[in-house]
Structure 1
Amino acid sequence: MGPVPFPIPSDEALRASTLAEYHVLESPPELEFDRLVQLASRLFSVPIALISLVASDRQVFKARVGLDVCETDRDVSFCAHAILSDEVMVVPDALEDPRFAANPLVLGPPFIRFYAGKPLVTPGGQRLGTVCLIDTQPRATFSQSERDNLSDLAELVMDRMELLRLAHVRTVGQARFENIAVTSPDAIICTTDVGAITFWNHAAERLFGYTAEEVTGRCGSLVVPDSWRAAYFEDLARLREGAAMSAAGQTIVRSGLRRDGSEFPAEISLSSWREGRATSVGAIVRDITERRRNEDRLYRLASLDALTELPNRAAWRACIQDTLEQGTPVSVLLLDLDGFKEVNDTLGHSAGDQVLKMVAARLKAECPDARMIARLGGDEFVLLLTGDDRRGASAVAGALVRALSRPYDLPGHAFEIGASVGIALYPAHGARAEDLLGAADLALYRAKAAGKGRYVVFERAFREVAVARREFERELRRAFEQDQFALLYQPQIDLRDGRIRGAEALLRWQHPTRGLLSPVSFIDVLAQKPIAPAVGEWIMRTACAQARGWRERVPGFRIGVNLFEAQVRSAQLRNVVERVLGETGLPPEGLELELLENTMIRHDSALLQVLQALRAMGVGLAFDDYGTGFASLSLLKRFPVSRLKIDRSFIRDVISDPEDAAIVRAVIYLGRSFGLEVIAEGVETKAQLDFLAANQCTQAQGYLFGRPMTAQAFTSELARAAVLP
């Protein structure tokens, strides 16, 4: 099924003839139109923005951003539908709209998913085309304010088209010109080559305050301010000498002078022609006060962050580019807030927005002389400082960290967040804008890795490390694609009878040149990559398949599987678990998912419902490395946890360190109090085992009972029915 045939407006013949009168379909590109579609692309954050004119059998793009073609057939045109109304037509998702779901522009390049178009309506009411926005991603909403802004843009385009139409009419004859000019909304003035006014329409009367009778025969300089009156007379003199006027055939912006002495910004289109032996001059004058106000507002919206009123990413990009082209030494300070996500998670996004406004105010107060302070998005800000002095930039960064670390007071709440800053200097750290921001980003990464609340100046070694890290990430992807990952299994022992009751699945990487790598070598990098959920699902499926066979030997056998944070964030966690259990045949009671405390804190509200559903299925849930994070006791009550795992760092010195011993006793006590199982990790000595047994810890794992081993070795271990040494 092809695209829906385009609809035909009831006044199609009149509409088409009106479009022809504007003479814009085949005319050269117009800088003003190009500027407006570029503004539209920035203002609405769309990759494609067009001024589309709908002819009888095609649509012609008078100006375009993000699209290579100049026209398309009308039968695939979204704009052919949009011109049926005076209002903005919005298509949130073209694939869900029966008019466009089979459209080749949707199924093929440019892969339209979102469309918004405002018709270009002439003063007589004919709809000639649209100003339209296109995105390759669907958009659920297009607000009323966005519709109003698009309508304002369409009005600016139509103003320009009307001026071009009148300029063309000027060339087809005086009589026809004057007939049209009488009813024109623009002021139209004709003079002789010495400046004597011969024609003055009603719009000129309204604009300048003089009647036609008052000005006919007088010099046109009476509406020309002092600022360009001399140039006006020079042009007339040039015309009398047989030369062309300097601005003939052009549209210029000058000031106009009203009868009351006030001036206004005017767009003026000048032309001259011969009538017999006499030379005449024509001027089309339009008051652009309102247009400038609208343009200023739209450009302001396109270059300012709506929340903080700081310059946005587009304005930053333009500023840094101009600065580098001038060769001016500068410092770039890239700043990221520490702990801001917790504000959003605990107090809500409205509170987060208030904090961002306060951050912007503190930045401006702390750096009033900065060339630019911009918000790049989220909680990321950037400052551009004059000069490339390392010490000076560091001093400013330190002051910013201190300023942003001061408490933030909101109604009913007082809290603290921090900031980390990465510093890059031009020209030392990069010649291009993207290189300089990249250097600052690498320095910021180092600052956050060093403990946050810090600032770091870029060093070339950072880039070398980043290159190596990217190569390592590619190796990780290849490792998964080429089956280089393997699972080992560490026994979990019931201390009451010394028998194996379960195992923890542990990931290893059989690197082709470096041998078998433990997780400490790669797990942090892997956890941050897009492949983490896929790797996590592979771990779960492989471990569950093994555990099903072991459960036949050991009734109640349970396999522990660590989850990546990306799996926890995913809305598919429950579906993945159900699918894996169904495919492997392992009952839900045979699987235990291990989560870190801090993961639970960060995803409190989003995670709770999923975990409750998993527990209702029978899947076990364990707090891994318990005691090393920041979990509160309330989490034990709120989350459906079934087991606590005491971290090995507390077991290592439990015999010699009274504080570690107290922590272990406390965790065991908490487990009993909340009705949870407790297992100790990292048990390596008989003394540690005796301590745990004496304090009624019922389960343990560690080298004392067996190192992580292959599935084959673990099967053999089960066959020997391992007991305590």
Structure 2
Amino acid sequence: MPPSTTCRPRMPAEKELQRIAALRQYQILDTLPDKEFDMITQTVKHVFDVPMVAISFVDTHRQWFKSEIGMGVCETDRAGSFCTHTIEGPDPMAIPDALEDPHFRSSPLVSGPPRIRAYLGAPLASPEGCNLGAICVMDHVPRQFSRRDRDVLAHFANLIMERLELRRAVAEDVLTGACTRRAFEERFAAAMRQHQRSGSDLTLALFDIDDFKAFNDSYGHPAGDRVLRSVGRCTRSTIRRSDIFGRVGGDEFAIVLPDTSLAEAEELLRRLRKRFAAIRLAEAPDVVVTASFGLAGALDPEVSPRSLMKITDKALYAAKASGKNAICLQDQERPLTPPRASLQRRIDRD
């Protein structure tokens, strides 16, 4: 492993955008403490005999700690942070004495709490090669880190990424590619915490496929699975990587849209309706796939995920009661889009 250096060139802006997009896909930011990651930091602390350890994910303007020992905070500004330099390269970065390093001697993390003097960090690299953050060990006194130290910390970085990949695989619904209900609820709660912290827009959409049970009864469950698979594919290719798509019931889905106004969310759902209508099935060529949508925004800064789900579900019920294949906004009895013949009604009419 080559010697580490703090003089790492900044990654190009396009690559940084790709890195942030990859980080968003893991939906890890602002999630609750986790015993599994806490066990890793405890083990690393014991192995390196240091007072400070952190698993850090580097966001656009901050570094957020999934687990930390000795830092005393859950996040810090990205400016002046050590990990923002670590993620610029593929190998661990060691700082024997931050006061002797021109890049870090003026960092608030060195001059003030937690008063980092020595640092060793290994990047957390996704399978695609995007460095999402770092696992780092820190001391209050100068310290030399050996090649073995770098190798051991790189091993822990690989272990963390293996756990993240496994969680992402388990949290994904195999048929539709959406989050499972449990994973969706965790990520939705994290998005709500981030929304409340930043004050940015957040919108929730709920939808279910019209007359799906009748379709299954008419054409069989294999055909129904193909509808679900197509709906999942259309949704995933329409929303952004930062959005959260979950399967919350048999044929019911939810989409969390951070930094999205109600008007922007409505336009997205209109595009999604068109994508669904374009789905074609060999065993049912005359069937048009439709869905009913409920839409609500987190307008009250104190609203909880559960409360917002109830508000949005009420809007979804109104869309279904209006004739299906429609979009209804919270607190509106009339649909935003005129209902048309739903999937099974088109079958019956033909």
Normalising by the residue count of structure 2, what TM-score does the alignment of the two structures yield?
Answer: 0.52
- In 2, Cα distance between equivalents of 1:372 and 1:270: 34
Correspondence for 1:328: 200
Q: Does 1:292 align with 2:290?
A: no
SS of corresponding position for 2:35: helix
- Following superposition, the deviation at residue 364 of structure 1 comes to 3.5
Paired amino acid for 2:98: A
1:431-470 equivalent positions in 2, closer than 5 A: 431-459=303-331
Structure 1 residue 353: deviation in Å? 3.2
Deviation at 1:422, TM superposition (A): 0.9
Cα distance, 1:297 vs structure 2: 0.4
Distance 1:323 1:459, change over 3 A: same
SS of the residue 1:328 aligns to: coil
CA separation of 1:166 and 1:254: change in aligned 2, threshold 3 A: closer
Q: Counterpart in 1 of 2:55? A: none
Residue of structure 2 in register with 1:341 after alignment: 213
Contact 1:429 1:436 in 2 (8 A): no
Residue 427 in 1 paired to residue 299 in 2? Answer: yes
Q: For residues 161 and 305 of structure 2, what CA distance do their matches in structure 1 show? A: 32
Query: Hey, what does 2:178 align to over in structure 1?
Result: 310
Aligned 8 A contact 1:424 1:458 in 2: yes
Contact kept in structure 2, 1:324 and 1:433, CA below 8 Å: no
**Which deviates more, 281-290 or 397-406?**
281-290
Amino acid at match of 1:37: K
* 2: CA distance, partners of 1:36 / 1:428: 28
**1:233, distance to aligned residue in structure 2 (A):** 3.9
Distance change >3 Å, CA 293–CA 416, structure 1 → 2: same
Q: 2 CA distance for matches of 1:460 and 1:266?
A: 47
In structure 2, do the counterparts of structure 1 residues 327 and 316 end up closer, same or farther at CA, with 3 Å as the change threshold?
Answer: same
Structural mapping, 1:526-541, within 5 Å: none
The residue identity in structure 2 corresponding to 1:335 is F
Amino acid at match of 1:323: H
Q: Please say if 1:416 is aligned against 2:284.
A: no
Aligned residues: 239
Alpha-carbon offset, residue 305 of structure 1 = 3.4
Q: Alpha-carbon deviations, 1:23-74, whole Å to 9, x = none?
A: xxxxxxxxxxx944378xxxxxxxxxxxxxxxxxxxxxxx7xxxxxxxxxxx
Partners in 1 of 2:292 and 2:333 — Cα distance? 20
Residues 342 and 327 of structure 1, relative CA distance in 2, 3 Å threshold: same
Choose from 261, 281, 304 the match for 1:388: 261
Which of 287, 301, 310 is 2:169 aligned to? 301
Residue equivalent to 1:403: 275
Give distance in 1, aligned partners of 2:164 and 2:136.
Answer: 20
What is the DSSP-based 3-state SS (H/G/I as helix, E as strand, rest coil) of the residue aligned with 2:318?
A: helix
User: CA 1:298–1:251 in 2, change beyond 3 Å: closer, same or farther?
Assistant: farther
- Which amino acid is the alignment partner of residue 169 of structure 2? L
TM-score w.r.t. the length of structure 1 is 0.28
Q: Given the superposition, is the C-alpha separation of residues 296 and 342 from structure 1 closer, same or farther in structure 2, using an over 3 Å criterion?
A: same
Q: Give RMSD over aligned pairs.
A: 4.7
8 Å CA contact 2:262, 2:296 repeated in 1: no
Q: Summarize the Cα distance change of 1:461–1:357 in structure 2 as closer, same or farther, 3 Å threshold.
A: closer
Counterpart residue type for residue 420 of structure 1: S
- Which of 228, 233, 238 is the matching residue for 1:356? 228
Q: Residue 231 of structure 1 corresponds to which residue in structure 2? A: 98
- Which whole-Å deviations, capped at 9, do the CAs of 1:467-498 have from their partners, x for residues lacking one? xxxxxxxxxxxxxxxxxxxxxxxxxxxxxxxx
Residue of structure 2 equivalent to 1:374: 246
Tell whether the 8 Å contact from 2:98 to 2:116 is kept in structure 1 after alignment: no
Q: What amino acid sits opposite 1:431 in the alignment? A: V
2:121 maps to a residue whose letter is V
- Cα gap change, 1:347/1:231 in structure 2, threshold over 3 Å: closer, same or farther? farther
Distance (whole Å) between structure 2 residues aligned to residue 38 and residue 293 of structure 1: 12
- Inter-partner Cα distance in structure 1 for 2:240 and 2:161: 27
Q: What is the CA-CA distance between 1:374 and the residue it aligns to?
A: 3.3
Q: Quick one: structure 1 residues 429 and 297, their matched pair in 2 at CA, closer, same or farther if it must change by over 3 Å?
A: closer
Question: Whole-Å Cα distance in 2 between the matches of residues 408 and 160 of structure 1?
Answer: 50
Matches of 1:455 and 1:316, distance apart in 2 = 21
Counterpart mapping for 1:36-435 below 5 A? 36-37=34-35, 157=39, 163-167=44-48, 225=93, 228=95, 231=98, 233-234=100-101, 246-247=115-116, 253-254=121-122, 269=137, 284-285=149-150, 286=152, 287=154, 288-301=156-169, 303-312=171-180, 313-314=184-185, 315-368=187-240, 371-385=243-257, 386-390=259-263, 392-410=264-282, 412-414=283-285, 415-427=287-299, 431-435=303-307
2:196–2:301 Cα contact (<8 Å) kept: no
Amino acid at match of 2:323: G
Q: Report the Cα distance in structure 2 between the residues aligned to 1:429 and 1:266, rounded to whole angstroms.
A: 32
Larger Rg: 1
Higher relative contact order (CA 8 A, sep 6+): 2
Q: Displacement of 1:421 after TM fit?
A: 0.6
Cα–Cα, structure 1 residues 446 and 164, in superposed 2: closer, same or farther, change >3 Å? same
Residue by residue over 1:346-377, the C-alpha shift from the partner in whole angstroms, topping out at 9 and shown as x without a partner, is 55544433322211222244445874433334
1:643 corresponding residue in structure 2: none
CA distance in 2, matches of 1:230, 1:271: 10
**In 1, are the aligned partners of 2:97 and 2:143 still within 8 Å (CA)?**
no
Q: CA deviation at 1:446?
A: 1.0
Give the share of equivalent positions with the same residue, in percent.
20
Seen in structure 2, the aligned counterparts of structure 1 residues 328 and 359 have a Cα distance that, compared at 3 Å, is: same
Deviations 1:101-159 (A, max 9, x none): xxxxxxxxxxxxxxxxxxxxxxxxxxxxxxxxxxxxxxxxxxxxxxxxxxxxxxxx5x6
Structure 2: which amino acid aligns with 1:341?
K
